[in-house]
Amino acid sequence: MAEGYIKTTHPTPAIAEITFFHPKHNSLPGHLLAELKAAIESCGTDVATQVIILKSGGDRTFCAGASFDELIAINDPATGKEFFQGFAGVINACRKCPKIIIGRIQGKAVGGGVGIAAAVDYCLATKYASVKLSELNIGIGPFVIGPAVERKIGGAAFSQLALNANVFQSAQWAREKGLYAEVHDSAEALDEATVTLAQYLVSTNPEAQRSLKKIFWEGTDHWDRLLEERAAMSGQLVLSAYTKEVLKNYGQS
C-alpha cells in the first residue's frame, strides 16, 4: 500500500476496471505508470473485455500528477526524459487501445491527471473534480500531456490552463470545454452513471466500437515520436537552474 498499486478487476466478464492508487494524492511514480500502461494494454488484448473503466482509489483526488520525489531526484537529461516518458506511455496506451475507455474522475486532477482524463474516450466526473496544469510553477510546462489535453479542449482552453498554473478550474468549466462529458453531484451518482454507460456499451456492437475508436483518434499516429520529443524537452528543462531552485524548496517543505 505504501508504494501504491494498480489493480484490474472484472465486475462482469465484458467490463474491466483498472484502478490506480498512491497514498500521496494518487500521484504516479514511474513504476506505477509502467504498470498502468501494461494494464491498459492487457485489457486491450483481452478477448472477453469490451469496455474499460479507468479510475483511482480514494475520494478526494483523482490524480495529483507525477511523483515529486522522483522529479527532485533527476540529475541528467536521460533520466529526465525517462521520467516524463511515463505519462507518454499511458497516454499512448489509451490512444492505441482498441477498446472504449471510460474515465471516472471523482476528485481533483492536476498535471498528468488532466492528461489521463483527456486520454480516455468518455469522461465522467463529480462536481469536485476541478482541474489544474501546475507545471509552469516549477519552471516546466505540460508538454507531454499537451497534445491529449489540447485535442480534447482546444488550443485556447489549453493555453488558459497552462499559463494560469496557480488556479484550479471547476468541473463545470471542464465540462463546458469538453474534457468531461458529464458532471455529477456525488461519487455515488458518478458510479451509477459510469456503470450504466459501461453496460450500455457492452450491449452494442464491438466492431462498431473499434471502428469509432479509430475515427476518434485519427491524426495521432505520430504521437509516439511527438510525446518522446516532448519528454526530452521536459527532461532538459527540469535541469534548469530555475527549476532546480524551486524543487529544492519543495524538498525542504
Model confidence pLDDT, tens digit, residues 112-128: 999 999 999 999 999 99
- Flag whether pLDDT at 252 surpasses 70: no
Tell me the CATH number at 181. Answer: 3.90.226.10
Task: Give dist(CA 78, CA 80) in Å, integer.
Answer: 5
Q: What type of residue sits at position 80?
A: G
Query: Do the domain assignments include residue 203?
Result: no
Residue-wise pLDDT tens digits, 213-224: 999 999 999 999
In a domain, 200, yes or no: no
Q: Which domain holds residue 19?
A: 5-188
Q: Which three cell numbers stand for residue 158?
A: 489549453
First-to-last C-alpha distance (Å) of the chain: 24
Residue 111 lies in a domain: yes
Residue 242 lies in a domain: no
pTM of the model: 0.96
Quick check: is 222 in a domain? Answer: no
The answer to whether position 184 is within a domain reads yes
The structural domain count of the chain equals 1
